[in-house]
Amino acid sequence: MLASQTRDPVFETAVRDQLDRVEVALVHAAEAESSMVREAAQHVILAGGKRFRPLLVVLASHLGPAAVDADVERAAVVVELTHVASLYHDDVMDEAGLRRGSVSANARWGNTVAILVGDLLFARASDLVADLGPEFVRLQARTFARLVQGQIAETVGPAPGQDRLEHYLKVVADKTGSLIATSALFGAKLAGATPAQQQLMADFGEQIGVVFQLSDDIIDITSDETGKTPGTDLREGIPTLPTLLARTSTDPADARLLTLLDSDLSSDADLAEVLSLLRRHRSIDEARTQVLRRAEAARRLLEGLPSGPARDSLEELCDTVVSRNV
């Protein structure tokens, strides 16, 4: 996901080299004595991914002169392992059949194995972060707490009378924004950035993390190239930005759409129909407007960082997150 327009090719090569080493370290971190456990633990990692969180660690680490490559790569592995572990648990709760274009771990090995493999990867992340020091351990633990609380809030749903969109955005901030914020903060800390710059990076990470998820919400409806079944969130009844915006409609012409959104969508025909209606609905444009506005707010936070290729790449990342279609 490193922007190809990066103004400094030497910097881009250095970042790509670091990410390549992170990729090798990720596979190594998922090793196990049992061949079955090893295969299950490496399953999602080997399926690929955007590696958005490791990228943020690496880019933020270039904001100052203090970063040690080995520590940066360790921090990048920690945040990605945490993310991958959460995917195993998410797929169990969502009863997902696909993950990154491959059969999900729960579909292949069963729910119990998938949950335990997720736990194993969380444990490996905790082991690695200990080498970075107690401050990083504390940040990781607090981030994990937010991830869990976000999942609980999503599962339970909004309280009576609570605004559904407000509740959803809080869930997104906890489930997605928190770990991306920690990724940016880890890199900034390792770079020796000032406390003010570290806070800017944490705020940037949270904001761009929300943008990342809201973009996924749109892609889940509009793209057929995501590596999972289009409309998965719709079928599971998971609220997303476009569906929450669509539900505010009072237009009689949207009656069929609203009826379908309240149905179980177990029928492939019904799912195809609701996707078709949503793709033509104004809620998609409204969602894109919100995503763009939040990305611009994230970009403005970067004005307080030192100029250079790291900041340039972070600014370009704001454009990439908005414009991607997978």
Q: What is the largest CA-CA distance in the chain?
A: 60
CB of 313 closer than 8 Å to CB of 16: no
Number of residues that this document lists for the chain: 326
- pLDDT for 103 equals 80
Single pTM value for the model: 0.92
Cβ-proximal residues to 207 (8 Å cutoff; 6+ apart), any chain: 177, 294, 297, 298, 301
Provide the pLDDT confidence category of residue 274 given band limits of 50, 70 and 90.
very high
User: Greater confidence, 53 or 44?
Assistant: 53
**Least confident piece of the model among 92-101, 152-161, 207-216, 266-275:** 92-101
Q: Is residue 26 part of a domain?
A: yes
Amino acid at 248: T
Provide the pLDDT confidence category of residue 65 given band limits of 50, 70 and 90.
very high
Q: Mean of the per-residue pLDDT values for the chain?
A: 91
Q: Which two tokens stand for residue 186?
A: 């880890």
Cβ-proximal residues to 6 (8 Å cutoff; 6+ apart), any chain: 12, 309, 312, 313, 316
Q: Is residue 177 part of a domain?
A: yes
Percent above pLDDT 70 for the chain: 94
- 99 sits in which H/E element: strand 98-99
Q: Evaluate if residue 2 carries a pLDDT over 80.
A: no
Placement of tokens 């492939």 in the chain: 268
Class of residue 140 by CB neighbours under 10 A (exposed 0-12, middle 13-18, buried 19+):
buried
- Which bin fits 264, alpha (ψ -120 to 50), beta or left (φ > 0)? alpha
Q: Is residue 4 part of a domain?
A: no
Domain hosting 223: range is: 9-323
Q: Is residue 2 part of a domain?
A: no
Q: Is residue 213 part of a domain?
A: yes
Provide the pLDDT confidence category of residue 237 given band limits of 50, 70 and 90.
confident
Q: Is residue 116 part of a domain?
A: yes
- Number of folded domains in the chain? 1
Amino acid at 63: L
Measured CA to CA, the distance from residue 36 to residue 33 in angstroms comes to: 9
**What is the distance, to the nearest Å, from the Cα of residue 237 to the centroid of all Cα atoms in its chain?**
19
**Least confident piece of the model among 100-104, 149-153, 201-205, 284-288:** 100-104
C-alpha to C-alpha distances, 177 to 121, 165, 245, 255, 291, nearest whole angstrom = 20, 16, 21, 34, 14
User: Greater confidence, 231 or 98?
Assistant: 231
Strand duo 102-103 + 98-99: pairing: antiparallel
For residue 151, the number of C-alpha atoms closer than 13 Å in the C-beta half-sphere is 13
Taking only the tens place, the pLDDT of each residue in 241-253 is 999 999 999 999 9
Q: Which two tokens stand for residue 180?
A: 């991306």
Measured CA to CA, the distance from residue 191 to residue 71 in angstroms comes to: 10
Q: What is the CATH number of the domain that holds 140?
A: 1.10.600.10
Q: Evaluate if residue 51 carries a pLDDT over 80.
A: yes
**Least confident piece of the model among 43-52, 147-156, 222-231, 253-262:** 222-231
CB of 291 closer than 8 Å to CB of 189: no
Taking only the tens place, the pLDDT of each residue in 79-130 is 999 999 999 888 788 767 667 667 888 888 788 998 999 999 999 999 999 9
Q: Is residue 255 part of a domain?
A: yes
Q: Is residue 225 part of a domain?
A: yes
Planar angle of CA 109, 114, 115, nearest 5 degrees: 150
